[in-house]
C-alpha cells in the first residue's frame, strides 16, 4: 500500500518545521508540500495529488482560515481529506463546513502530547473519508438538547423577565413594564437564577452570570 500523500499548512514557522520533520519520518506518509498560508497551499497540481491536508485553523488574519482553505481544497480535489487542528476548541467547528462536504473531515485540539502514530492514524483515517466529524456533531447535538432543556425549565413569564434583564433593565423597571410588583419580579429572578445557575457559589455575581447564560441559551434555542 502506498504512503498517504499529505499537504501541511501551518503559519507558525517553528511548529511547521518541527511537525513537518516528524511527519516525514513515517513510512506511511509522504509529505508532498508544506506551506505557511492558504495562497501557497492552493497549488492545483499538488492539491490534486494529495490524499489529505493537515491545516491549522488560524492562518493569515487577512486571508482564509483553515476551514475556508479546506473548502477551497475540496473545490479542486473533491476526494481530499481535511484535518483541522487548533489551539481553540474544535467542538463547534463542524457546523462551519457545508453538510454536503463533511465526509472526510477531522478536527482535533493542538497538543504537544500527540505522537507520530496519533498523527498517522488520524491522517490516514481522514484520507479514507472516515474522519471524526460525526462524533463531534453528535456531541454538539447533545449539548444543544441539554441547553434547550434548561431554557424550557423556565416559565414563559420567567423567560420574559430574563429577556428584559438581558436588555439591562432593573427589577423595578421590569416590574413597571410588565405591570407586576417589584417583590414578585425579584422572586422570579431568584427562581430563574436557580434554574440557570444550579452550581453557583454564594460569592458569584448571579445577575451577570445568569444574563450571560440566558443569552447563550437564546442563541441555541
Each residue of 34-50: pLDDT tens digit? 999 999 999 999 999 99
Q: What is the pLDDT of residue 219?
A: 62
Predicted confidence (pLDDT) at residue 144 exceeds the cutoff of 60: no
Average pLDDT of span 54-62: 84
- Residue spans of the domains in the chain: they are 4-137, 154-220
Dump pLDDT digits (tens) for 22-33: 999 999 999 999
Average pLDDT of span 73-87: 94
CB 57 within 8 A of CB 38: no
**Architecture of the CATH domain 154-220:** Orthogonal Bundle (1.10)
Q: What is the pLDDT of residue 137?
A: 65
Q: Indicate the average pLDDT of the chain.
A: 87
Q: Sign of the C-alpha dihedral, residues 50, 54, 60, 64? A: positive
pTM score > 0.75 for this model?
Answer: no
**Same fold flag, 4-137 and 154-220:** no
Predicted confidence (pLDDT) at residue 127 exceeds the cutoff of 80: yes
Q: What is the pLDDT of residue 160?
A: 94
CB 47 within 8 A of CB 77: yes
Beta strands in 14-63 (DSSP E): 29-35, 52-56
Q: 118 falls in which pLDDT band (50, 70, 90)?
A: very high
Q: 157 falls in which pLDDT band (50, 70, 90)?
A: very high
Instruction: Give the dihedral of Cα atoms 131, 136, 138, 143; nearest 10 deg.
Output: 180
CB 125 within 8 A of CB 131: yes
Q: 213 falls in which pLDDT band (50, 70, 90)?
A: confident
> For the domain 4-137, what is the CATH code?
3.40.50.2300
Amino acid at each position: 500500500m502506498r504512503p498517504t500523500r499529505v499537504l501541511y499548512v501551518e503559519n507558525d514557522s517553528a511548529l511547521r518545521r518541527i511537525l513537518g520533520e516528524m511527519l516525514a519520518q513515517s513510512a506511511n506518509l509522504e509529505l508532498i508540500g508544506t506551506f505557511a498560508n492558504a495562497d501557497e497551499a492552493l497549488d492545483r497540481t499538488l492539491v490534486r495529488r494529495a490524499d489529505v491536508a493537515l491545516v491549522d485553523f488560524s492562518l493569515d488574519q487577512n486571508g482564509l482560515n483553515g476551514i475556508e482553505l479546506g473548502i477551497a481544497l475540496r473545490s479542486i480535489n473533491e476526494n481530499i481529506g481535511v484535518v483541522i487542528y487548533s489551539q481553540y476548541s474544535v467542538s463547534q467547528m463542524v457546523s462551519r463546513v457545508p453538510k454536503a462536504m463533511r465526509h472526510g473531515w477531522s478536527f482535533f485540539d493542538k497538543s504537544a502530547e500527540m505522537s507520530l502514530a496519533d498523527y498517522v492514524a488520524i491522517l490516514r483515517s481522514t484520507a479514507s473519508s472516515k474522519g471524526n466529524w460525526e462524533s463531534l456533531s453528535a456531541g454538539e447535538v447533545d449539548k444543544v438538547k441539554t441547553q434547550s432543556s434548561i431554557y424550557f425549565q423556565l416559565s414563559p413569564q420567567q423567560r420574559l423577565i430574563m429577556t428584559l434583564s438581558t436588555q439591562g433593565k432593573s427589577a423595578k423597571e421590569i416590574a413597571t413594564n410588565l405591570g407586576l410588583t417589584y417583590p414578585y419580579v425579584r422572586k422570579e429572578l431568584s427562581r430563574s437564577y436557580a434554574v440557570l445557575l444550579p452550581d453557583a457559589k454564594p460569592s458569584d455575581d448571579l445577575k451577570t452570570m445568569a444574563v450571560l447564560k440566558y443569552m447563550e441559551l437564546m442563541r441555541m434555542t
